[in-house]
Chain A
Amino acid sequence: MSEFLFQEDVSIVLCGEAGQGIQTIESILIQSVKLGGHHVCSTKEYMSRVRGGENSTEIRVSSKRICAYVNRIDILIAISKGAIYHLKERISNDTIIIGDDETLKLVEKEDVIKIPFLKTAEYIGGPIFANVIAAGVISRILNIDKEIFNECITAMFERKGEKILKGDLKAGEEGYKVGENILKSGKIKIEIEKNPKIRDELLLDGTEVVGMGCIAGGCRFMASYPMTPSSTLQVFIAKYGGEFDIIFEQSEDEIAAINMGIGAFYAGARALVATSGSGFALMEEGVGLSRINETPLVIYVGQRPGPAVGLPTRTSQEDLDLTLYGHGETPKIIFAPGNLEDAFHLSQRAFNIADKYQIPVFILSDQYFADIYYNLPSIYLKSVEIEHHIVKTDENYKRYELTDDGISPRGIPGFGDGLVVVDPHEHDEEGHITEDQNLRTKMVEKRIKKLDGIKKDSIPPELIGSIDYSILVVGWGSTYGIIKEALDNLKREDIAFLYFKQVYPLHDSTKKYLDKANKTIIFENNVESQFANLIKLQTDFIIDKNVLKYNGRPFSVEEVTESLKSFMEVF
């Protein structure tokens, strides 16, 4: 067996059946790795089932900041029998497989380390301890202090009682022993630089950061219906809502959810709804209501492949079109954060900007982004504030007063002497039903006029890499970290990445950036290249090459790197 040395970056993949505790190992390990002073990033893929099947989590440990999925597997921890088959396309000659001797019985590969995980687990108290033994092995190989590891185990299992905690600590210890033996054998050596400062950094996932941003944005009400991959945000608000006086309600369906959200915002509480796929389709009727009754709302869409049920637990960027279009014509804003800092600030901003323009604001995420964890030094909070856009009404108050900028001051019932009348029909300035054609024209123009201000407030795309580029890579939302790392790998001065975090309306600088490039290429997780179409519609610019992936999995750094290499060879 050959020897494996990792000095900069190692990709460890854990694979097992649903119910075998893969997520538990992920939580313990990423914390241990971070506390041990390494940069860490984890991503996961899972099946739409509660037991069985094959789920996997990739944990990257690195000397540099990373926030991307790689296809490469350096070390595979196979917890289940099906793991090898499940990951066959990613296992290479350079992959070391560690697994239970029973599980790996039939694997004919040189670089396999067979360990009696299950027997050891049985000895400790049952097969449930197998995952913690595996975590201990990895932790030891990564040279993480046992104290740190035990700290993480305790944090995870303390609430489950002394007996379970004791078992898990013992399991971790057994894992450390196995890891020690592997190191002694000289098969694996990991010498990735440590930085003690990382210990104090934040370690968060896409969902948590969006949730924190929403709370920082003054969210006081959330109604939603569970649906992967947006449920995790609902869990977050349900869990922390009490501390921040947020009402959380699981509604009977998405239709009720969005109608509750709009009602709450009308009555004075900033409101959030979260959904995915066909749940979002059900909400479309309510989106129209928010647009005509000019009541703000923040809508989080965790995208997954569709249509209809599609691939419930997989990732995609397919719902841009549904977010963008809809019946009737009024403005809206769509954010698509690609990194954790942006996810926080855009989610926070969503509430201010929705309130300012009295429109629905969308946060487009997806399964990949919702589930990605990595460490970051901090989140800049100085610029964060809740902007108030509510007025105290008087007796002459008119909810839909015609104004120069199209924004009619928004009152709420019970604050002032005025009456707040909102209506889903075309309405007069007071909010009562009208069919007057001149008034209709004025109201349509009033609503669309808000777009001028919205455009001025829109967030420009971010240019990453050389400003003297001739090749421009375009991406939006969750592909950010993957494209960025691919560019870092290429180390070329003539290439840059234009990352869009606001996808509608596009900032005025968009065309200037695109025109400057000799060649342009876009990466999207959909088949129609929805964002390239939007760019063409808004700027008349046609992107040269569309690299599209729609199998429900994210792009990998290697895939993007290879695509860019072959794109550059063409000219």
Chain B
Amino acid sequence: MKPEVFDVENADIAWCSGCGNFSILSTLKIVLAELEIDARELVLVSGIGQAGKLPHFLKSHTYNSLHGRSLSPATAIKAVNKDLKVIVTSGDGDMYGEGGNHFMHTIRRNPDITCIVHNNMVYGLTKGQASPTTLRGMRTSFQVEGVSEEPFNPLVVALALDASFVARTFSGDIEHMKETFKSAINHKGFSLVDVFQPCVTFNKINTYQWFKENTYHLEDFHDPTIKMKHLRESWKKINIL
């Protein structure tokens, strides 16, 4: 199967040039093709935000939901028809802010769905306000004196809730992202993939360069016995699982 089967004809892509979303989209298509997933058996579910638009650019059944609400319909769709492959695409504001409660409880439910969170540490669609993952000190039009809160750490929360699959990758590390998506989609149960992704328009701090310099690979990726170590690693501000 070729990734092009997932292309949407005449799609009016709404992302800025250079956006990390592009490589997430193209990598997801490659992975779906490699896994031989039929578009007719695939439902992409999203919320609102720049990441939430992804399903409109990938040929599949699509359930574009409300802001923060993607996990609830995704859970129900899978419960109603287990033959469907259900993948959620969301952003840091959508998933960890507006959808925070659903995020926690969906992890507890552990439905067989994959949740990809485009984490650019800033709000894009509403133009540059802080998201739950924005680093302290960043000034925005709303946080005029800089963000004062500690950023939300989705990996620690997911691990603490005993999520069955937790991963982080980076949109600038295509190979790693591809393997991570693949493992997540193949995982039976809830799989969380937090994808670091630069916002070229609104986040001048967490750039491609910055991510390259501040991230590293964990080598013992698949060893489930080292959850506590992962938890400790996740406490550090930035890393790749």
Contact = CB atoms under 8 A, between A and B. Distances in A.
A505 to B, nearest CB: 26
B168 interface: no
Nearest to A288: B66
B51 interface: no
A250 to B, nearest CB: 10
B62 A252 contact: no
Contacts of B73: 259-260, 262-264, 266
A267 B40 contact: no
B101 A256 contact: yes
A419 B60 contact: yes
B102 A268 contact: no
A412 to B, nearest CB: 8
A252 B101 contact: yes
A260 B75 contact: yes
Nearest to A252: B105
Given A263-B73, A263-B75, A269 B62 contact: no
B77 interface: yes
A86 B77 CA distance: 49
Interface string A218-259: 001101000000000000000000000001010111011101
Contacts of A422: 62-64
B37 interface: no
A517 B79 CA distance: 53
A305 interface: no
Given A259-B69, A431-B62, A264 B40 contact: no
Contacts of B84: 267, 413-414
A64 interface: no
Interface string B5-33: 00010010010000000000000000000
B160 to A, nearest CB: 17
A247 B80 contact: yes
B41 interface: yes
Contacts of B74: 263
Nearest to B53: A433
Contacts of A257: 72
Interface string B43-58: 1010010000101100
A264 B45 CA distance: 13
A114 interface: no
A424 interface: yes
A266 B59 CA distance: 18
Given A260-B73, A414-B41, A267 B81 contact: yes
A396 to B, nearest CB: 13
Question: Which of B61, B75, B105: most chain A Cβ within 10 A?
Answer: B61
Contacts of A421: 55-56, 61-62, 64
Contacts of B65: 259, 263, 289, 424
Interface string A277-311: 00000000110010000000000000000000000
Contact of B102 (A247, A256, A423): A256
B102 A252 contact: yes
Given A285-B66, A289-B66, A424-B66, A260 B72 contact: yes
A425 B64 contact: yes
B48 to A, nearest CB: 8
B83 interface: yes
Contacts of B39: 419
Contacts of B41: 413-414
B228 interface: no
A261 interface: yes
Interface string B84-103: 10000000000000000110
A286 B76 CA distance: 14
Contacts of B61: 413-414, 419-421
B80 A264 contact: yes
Given A256-B72, A417-B40, A433-B56, A268 B80 contact: yes
A492 interface: no
A264 B66 contact: no
A286 B66 contact: yes
Interface string A55-93: 000000000000000000000000000000000000000
A273 B94 CA distance: 24
A267 B69 contact: no
A432 interface: yes
Nearest to A256: B72
Contacts of B59: 419
Contacts of A285: 66
Nearest to B102: A256
Contacts of A264: 73, 76-77, 79-80
A259 B48 CA distance: 14
Interface string B187-200: 00000000000000
Contacts of A419: 39-40, 59-62
A422 B77 CA distance: 13
Given A259-B73, A260-B75, A267 B66 contact: no
Contact of B80 (A259, A269, A431): A269
Contacts of A253: 101
Nearest to B108: A252
Nearest to A431: B62
A279 to B, nearest CB: 14
A431 B60 CA distance: 12
Nearest to B72: A259
A419 B64 CA distance: 13
Nearest to A422: B63
Contacts of B69: 255-256, 259, 286, 289
A432 B61 CA distance: 11
B60 A267 contact: no
A360 to B, nearest CB: 14
A261 B76 contact: yes
B76 A260 contact: yes
A261 B65 CA distance: 12
A431 B65 CA distance: 12
Contacts of A431: 62
A414 B40 contact: yes
Interface of A: 220-221, 223, 247, 249, 251-253, 255-257, 259-264, 266-269, 271, 285-286, 289, 413-414, 417, 419-425, 431-433
7 contacts: A221-B80, A252-B101, A260-B73, A269-B76, A413-B84, A421-B61, A424-B64
Among all A-B residue pairs, the 8 with the closest Cβ atoms: A263-B73, A259-B72, A263-B76, A413-B61, A252-B105, A260-B76, A267-B80, A421-B62
Given A264-B79, A267-B76, 19 more contacts: A255-B102, A256-B102, A260-B73, A260-B75, A261-B76, A263-B65, A263-B72, A263-B80, A266-B73, A268-B80, A268-B81, A414-B40, A414-B41, A421-B56, A421-B61, A421-B62, A422-B62, A422-B63, A422-B64
